[in-house]
Chains A and B, each alone.
Chain A
Amino acid sequence: EVQLLESGGELVQPGGSLRLSCAVSGFSISSYTMSWVRQAPGKGLEWVSGIYGGSGRTFYADSVKGRFTISKDTSKNTVFLQMNSLRAEDTAVYYCAKDQVPDGIWTFDYWGQGTLVTVSS
């Protein structure tokens, strides 16, 4: 059974840092593209970042480029999102999502339950 479990969300001050984790089971992240998608309170969905399973090539939304870093540990089957220089507008529920096919077409067939990041003083 495929499962994605995010963790690491918490209250952090503006300018601070946070690292989110997405521990997966039921498949290998070495084969599938993984993404982070966020949702600000009462707002819509925003894709944040993605990482290819095979090559590890990374991709970012302009809003987080230079501040966030996506990475993975295949031995732990876990994807990470390192978030630096956090701003109030980064406040959101952050979802981890799995691509439907191996290194495929950025279509997400499984999502985690999300972890809440709050940036506030």
Chain B
Amino acid sequence: DIVMTQSPLSLPVTPGEPASISCRSSQSLYSKGNNYLDWYLQKPGQSPQLLIYLGSTRASGVPDRFSGSGSGTDFTLKISRVEAEDVGVYYCMQPLQTPLTFGGGTKVEIK
């Protein structure tokens, strides 16, 4: 199974400031020209929602302050200017092979 490791576990942020979350996989997620890495956000009391897929493509309706980058085994989610509505737990997930596996999550909260 592919192990996904996120850091940090918790990320206190100031509104208007940037934020960055790291995700590493135990094996390369690059295949057939794509990096198979997704990012999801679970806001408090809600179901998860898709933010980024194939490493860097924003899902429909996702603000452009969110961006994904990386390749192979190292990936990053960046929020250019954090807003209050961005609080929640962020998860990376590899959809390359079953069993699909998630990172442990990064809790983003406002300072």
Contact = CB atoms under 8 A, between A and B. Distances in A.
B75 interface: no
Contacts of B40: 45, 108
Contacts of A47: 93, 98-102
A50 B93 CA distance: 15
Interface of A is mostly: strand
Interface of B: 1, 36, 38, 40, 42, 47-50, 53-54, 59-60, 89, 91, 93, 95, 98-105
B104 A44 contact: yes
A59 interface: yes
Contacts of A95: 47-48
B50 A62 contact: no
B50 A108 contact: yes
Give the interface residue-count category, chain A: 20 to 34
Contact of A44 (B1, B38, B54, B102): B102
Given A95-B48, A100-B50, A113-B47, A59 B99 contact: yes
Contacts of A62: 1, 99
A10 interface: no
Query: Which 9 pairs show the lowest CB-CB distances between chains A and B?
Result: A106-B95, A47-B100, A111-B47, A59-B98, A45-B102, A107-B53, A61-B99, A44-B105, A109-B50
